[in-house]
Amino acid sequence: MQNLSMTKTQWVELFRETGLDEATMSKWHQLFEQRYPEQHQAFLQWLQIPAAEVSQIRQASR
């Protein structure tokens, strides 16, 4: 079966290529966490981010 998930590195590359800087990416995570916390977690897991890092990202986004 084909793996259709992306990695964190691939996603960040796309964000950077579209002109997003660290502050804008942080704001994006904050909005995602505030509006759709469960989907934010699922998205981070889809990016194959380890559980401890997912927790850190979500905590920093609150």
pTM of the model: 0.89
Judge contact between 32 and 61, C-beta under 8 A. yes
HEC letters along 18-45: CCCCHHHHHHHHHHHHHHCHHHHHHHHH
Judge contact between 7 and 48, C-beta under 8 A. yes
pLDDT at 2: 73
Res. 60 pLDDT band, cuts 50 70 90: very high
**If you average pLDDT over every residue of the chain, what do you get?**
96
Give pLDDT tens digits for 16-44: 999 999 999 999 999 999 999 999 999 99
Share of the chain above pLDDT 90, in %: 92
